[in-house]
Amino acid sequence: MYPNKEQENLFFQHFGACRFVYNWGLENKLKTYESDGKSISRFTLNKMLPDLKSEYVWLKDVNSQSLQDATLHLENAFTRFFREKKGFPKFKSRKNPTKSFSIPQHYDVNFDTQKIRLPKIGWVKTKLHREYEGMGKTATVSITPSGKFFISILVDDGKDQPPAQHFDVNTTIGVDVGIKDFAILSNGEKIGNPRYLKQSLFQMKILQRRLSRKQKGSNNRNKAKKSVSKLHEKLHNQRNDFQHKLSFRLVCENQAIALETLNVDGMLKNHKLAQHIADASWSSFVTQLENKALRYGKTVLRIGRFEPSSRICSKCGYYNRDLTLSDRDWICPDCGTHHDRDINAAVNIKKFALDKQNLIGI
């Protein structure tokens, strides 16, 4: 989005008001629970909003539904905490570089003029990268740390999720993720790891060193911080582009994809490999694979994290207890097969996943 100066100020006013209402709702929830031992719902908080607007008149300049949506986000945060144990909701800081507000309805999209009309803000120049078909639901306006505005519109196209397609041994592929090679496939193909962070690490060190030398609160420090944010954003975009293309290719070429469940949080505690593991971003790649598989009716199979995929011979089943991380290839003492460690692991991942589906031998 490309707002003018007045619209930009209104955007920041919406960001601040939604953050204020979220923190106000969280404070009320905590105080109610401490005094009465009961939780206060978002509907009760919404009924209290008119009194809050009387106390803080500047809230009237903000779209009322955006304020009500802030209490919905708070309710969802508590739901995730109790159901998924994702962490207790925290107060939002104005120093957080990523800000957003939601608009549930009453916005208009004009694809001809490339503009979107938002309540209390007006028509905003927008680069609409594609035209959607369906009913527009919630629109979310956000700002990145580099200062770019984006809008994301949730659309209900009215289509049912496609049923999962039939798969067998020939239409399933095993994928083993790594550091040297990003993905190793059971068909013997190795996909190199682009290592975007390593390529830009020298430039990042220079920019962060410049940032650390700037006086806090100065305009020069804000400029330096924006330069660092732009580089981080570039790395994020490069990594996303690579993973989207690879996940789309795997989903298009196969009916099922077999993956190994990895304890990424535990692996990040290894200080020698933590930077490379974080740069590879395996978790986001798996998430993209699962999302695309649901969209196109494909299946993602998962095996347990303790399955010895690297140590077992994929030909005869011999278990190699002496295999270490530095051994990149080995010869099976029983059948004499020469194994590439990673390809052997990918083949075993596929076998283990299909064995659980009772498809081995078909």
- Averages of pLDDT over runs of 10 residues in the chain (362 residues) are 95 95 94 88 93 93 94 92 86 90 93 94 93 90 93 90 89 91 91 91 94 93 93 94 95 92 85 87 92 92 85 85 82 84 89 76 42
| Entry field: residues in the chain | 362
Report how far residue 96's alpha carbon sits from residue 112's, in angstroms, rounded to the nearest whole number.
35
Q: Which residues contact 42 (CB under 8 A, 6 or more apart)?
A: 25, 71, 72, 74, 75
Q: What is the pTM of this model?
A: 0.84
pLDDT of residue 320: 84
The number of beta carbons lying within 10 Å of the beta carbon of residue 351 is 23
Q: Is residue 189 annotated as part of the catalytic site, yes or no?
A: no
pLDDT of residue 132: 87
Of these residues, 69, 75, 279, 342, which one is catalytic?
342
Cβ proximity of 131 and 155 under 8 Å: no
pLDDT of residue 142: 95
Cβ proximity of 29 and 79 under 8 Å: no
Of these residues, 69, 75, 260, 279, which one is catalytic?
260
Cβ proximity of 282 and 264 under 8 Å: yes
Report how far residue 312's alpha carbon sits from residue 330's, in angstroms, rounded to the nearest whole number.
11
pLDDT of residue 358: 62
Report how far residue 121's alpha carbon sits from residue 344's, in angstroms, rounded to the nearest whole number.
58
179 in helix, strand or coil? coil
Of these residues, 133, 176, 253, 327, which one is catalytic?
176
pLDDT of residue 359: 66
- Listed residue (326, 171, 147, 311) closest to 230, CA to CA: 147
pLDDT of residue 362: 37
Q: Is residue 342 annotated as part of the catalytic site, yes or no?
A: yes
SS3 content of the chain, % helix, strand, coil (to 5): 45, 20, 35
Report how far residue 166's alpha carbon sits from residue 359's, in angstroms, rounded to the nearest whole number.
11
pLDDT of residue 361: 47
Q: Is residue 279 annotated as part of the catalytic site, yes or no?
A: no
Strand partners, 259: 302
Helices 5-36 and 42-55, packing angle to 10 deg: 120
CA angle 273, 274, 277 (to 5 degrees): 85
The number of beta carbons lying within 10 Å of the beta carbon of residue 333 is 11
Residue 31 is encoded by which pair of tokens? 């105080």
Q: Regarding beta strands 172-177 and 256-260, do their DSSP bridges make them parallel or antiparallel, or are they unpaired?
A: parallel
